[in-house]
Chain A
């Protein structure tokens, strides 16, 4: 939601209607934990190899504490922000956590619709839907959908976009 909190206009962009699946919480958490563990392992390896335990103790502690916060807080924050919605004429997504991004693409300009499931997503029964347009600004992607919902959504989008020709290239 764009809550500008300032003066001016009478309209604002409302958040998209649907949240992603709740199972995205542990999925994001696992991914974050993986990232933090890689960094920690690297530091531990360096400390052991160069026997710098004393020098690296404080940085290790800081990284560990910050990492824990990241793993706990980020998924919840993302869950609050990540949303999606499709209408007959457009796809609308919101994503990010500290910085946020909202994207809108009209159905008539969609070029491809893909669903993707990584191994970790599979564990949680999740799936991502990626919608590309002819723009180089990158695709719209909806992460952390239940895989059945994702398949339905992809099918719906494919059907709708086939009905509306032209991609403005």
Chain B
């Protein structure tokens, strides 16, 4: 929520532009921000050491040591600030850093794919924003330039300047006019609805995070209880043998209560996290060619994405969310460093929301050229794909059965234990396998390729056919036996490749050729011309001998 700051930035528009073409420093307050991060733990440690050490001289020494560390931290932050300068010239963005180890980076402005603003709590208090400039070069390790930190108005100015297309660069038809014609605040495509927080709590990863937090909290709680002798009181009342345990009702009640507490606690924690993440979410379309996502309660994030970098969209439906009829919409775009930010946070276009909304916004973001097709329009995969998934389920059940048959070696268990556990495991395994098969599908929709897969998280990807820069076909020996293969379209955007799993060999190749006409054409042959076997092929062609 960078409301007032944004407005200010937008008022003092053009005077600052000349400034940015000269060498600029980061905001002096960034020294405070970056050393402040360490100040809090340092000061606490200082106070603790001094107050608790019994030997006063030793305490003083330690305090002096910590103080020295603090001074070093501040000095290095200042050093970094002093020697960091950047400027924006007509053609390039240039960044100088460091003195001892100097670095000078200069990147053409047309290569800049995204400019993101983040403001953690401390930065927000100081009115600062961290600017990340993505160039979308995957080959280099650090393709991301990071300015930590600029004052928020200046950061906004920089963002606008870098993402504005200057006359003279490629596709500029009418952008200047559109830019000045207004739409400063952009066309609003979506804003947060209170009910969406509920959807986002259904994302399994959030639940896991809160469960982990809860577990660590519980373990400290159990320490506390042990201190008061509560644990031994419970332990005395716990049944000692298995038969007793299965017979007694208290255990089941206890387990039920524990489960309820876990579920409720996990859900509440997930709610808190999702509110922090998605508070004040807004998806806007600025200047007709830049999408902007703003969100965050404590840490605010603003991600900008040029529309010409958008090569498609992805709808992810984790199991729980899918059951509730929701989905998560993400961008498939170049220059969104999927590797660097492994959480994939910055590709989110929408919080977990009803599927209907996600598909509508997905279509809108792609200018309504295409929407997520309904299941019936997707081409089914061969039965071999189902057999492969069932076989995998069978392996899992076999593993469970093996574990269950060896379990009685550890202690007495009723004879029916192994078959019953195996049967219990088989039901979900088979259901998952069936669901995984049903999820599989692919199609061509206008200028887009559609592929869908997955059961734990079902993903549907719409990928622009123009953005496909090659094919990768893989076939394992087992796939070879059943005549299927995995066809992957490689692309510069998103993951780098999107696979169509377990598709029939011949149909897959045909599909690939239809998706990108001409690319595979010269490598295809009619099936009936079997006479050109590899060995003959070798003799007839002038290979390197």
User: In the complex, A6→B505 CA distance in Å?
Assistant: 8
User: In the complex, A140→B523 CA distance in Å?
Assistant: 16
Kindly list chain A residues whose C-beta atoms are within 8 Å of the C-beta of B113.
169
Whether, in the assembled complex, B270 has its beta carbon less than 8 Å from a beta carbon of chain A, the answer is: no
Proximity bits, A129-167, B CB within 8 Å = 1, else 0:
000111111001000011001000000000000000001
Once A18-B541, A19-B543 are accepted as A-B contacts, the answer to whether A168 and B469 lie under 8 Å apart by CB is: yes
Chain A residue nearest to B528 (CB atoms) is: A10
Segment from A26-34, A41-49, A62-70, A104-112 that makes contact with B: A104-112
The number of chain A residues with a CB under 8 A from chain B is 52
Proximity bits, B502-528, A CB within 8 Å = 1, else 0:
001111011001000011101111111
Whether, in the assembled complex, B103 has its beta carbon less than 8 Å from a beta carbon of chain A, the answer is: no
Q: For chain B, give the interface size range.
A: 35 or more
Kindly list chain A residues whose C-beta atoms are within 8 Å of the C-beta of B538.
19
Whether, in the assembled complex, B241 has its beta carbon less than 8 Å from a beta carbon of chain A, the answer is: no
Chain A residue nearest to B311 (CB atoms) is: A168
Kindly list chain B residues whose C-beta atoms are within 8 Å of the C-beta of A106.
469-470, 519
Kindly list chain A residues whose C-beta atoms are within 8 Å of the C-beta of B520.
13, 104
Segment from B2-10, B11-19, B249-257, B489-497 that makes contact with A: B489-497
Once A5-B483, A12-B506, A168-B467 are accepted as A-B contacts, the answer to whether A98 and B524 lie under 8 Å apart by CB is: no
Kindly list chain A residues whose C-beta atoms are within 8 Å of the C-beta of B545.
22
Whether, in the assembled complex, B532 has its beta carbon less than 8 Å from a beta carbon of chain A, the answer is: yes
B506:A14 contact, CB within 8 angstroms? no
Kindly list chain B residues whose C-beta atoms are within 8 Å of the C-beta of A21.
544
Segment from B318-326, B402-410, B440-448, B474-482 that makes contact with A: B474-482
B488:A137 contact, CB within 8 angstroms? yes
A1:B534 contact, CB within 8 angstroms? yes
Once A12-B506, A109-B469, A132-B139 are accepted as A-B contacts, the answer to whether A89 and B518 lie under 8 Å apart by CB is: yes
A103:B475 contact, CB within 8 angstroms? no
User: In the complex, A14→B384 CA distance in Å?
Assistant: 23
Whether, in the assembled complex, A90 has its beta carbon less than 8 Å from a beta carbon of chain B, the answer is: yes
User: In the complex, A18→B470 CA distance in Å?
Assistant: 20
Task: Choose one: B476, B504, B522; the contact of A87 (CB below 8 Å).
Answer: B522
A8:B490 contact, CB within 8 angstroms? no
Whether, in the assembled complex, B271 has its beta carbon less than 8 Å from a beta carbon of chain A, the answer is: no
Q: How far is the CB of A20 from chain B (nearest CB, A)?
A: 8
Whether, in the assembled complex, A2 has its beta carbon less than 8 Å from a beta carbon of chain B, the answer is: yes
Kindly list chain B residues whose C-beta atoms are within 8 Å of the C-beta of A105.
469-470, 490
Task: Choose one: B480, B488, B505, B537; the contact of A12 (CB below 8 Å).
Answer: B505
Q: How far is the CB of A74 from chain B (nearest CB, A)?
A: 14
Q: How far is the CB of A91 from chain B (nearest CB, A)?
A: 9
User: In the complex, A44→B161 CA distance in Å?
Assistant: 65
Chain B residue nearest to A20 (CB atoms) is: B544
Kindly list chain B residues whose C-beta atoms are within 8 Å of the C-beta of A104.
470-471, 519-520, 523
Q: How far is the CB of A111 from chain B (nearest CB, A)?
A: 8
B524:A137 contact, CB within 8 angstroms? no
Once A101-B474, A136-B339 are accepted as A-B contacts, the answer to whether A11 and B492 lie under 8 Å apart by CB is: no
Kindly list chain A residues whose C-beta atoms are within 8 Å of the C-beta of B543.
17-19
Proximity bits, B405-429, A CB within 8 Å = 1, else 0:
0000000000000000000000000
Kindly list chain B residues whose C-beta atoms are within 8 Å of the C-beta of A8.
504-507
Across the A-B interface, the 9 shortest Cβ-Cβ residue pairs: A136-B496, A9-B506, A4-B505, A6-B483, A134-B492, A137-B497, A4-B483, A109-B469, A135-B490
Residues of B within 8 A of A (CB): 113, 136-139, 334-335, 338-339, 382, 384, 466-467, 469-477, 480, 482-485, 488, 490-492, 495-497, 504-507, 509-510, 513, 518-520, 522-528, 532, 534, 537-538, 541, 543-545
Residues of A within 8 A of B (CB): 1-6, 8-19, 21-22, 80, 83, 85, 87, 89-90, 92, 98-106, 109, 111-112, 132-137, 140, 145-146, 149, 167-169
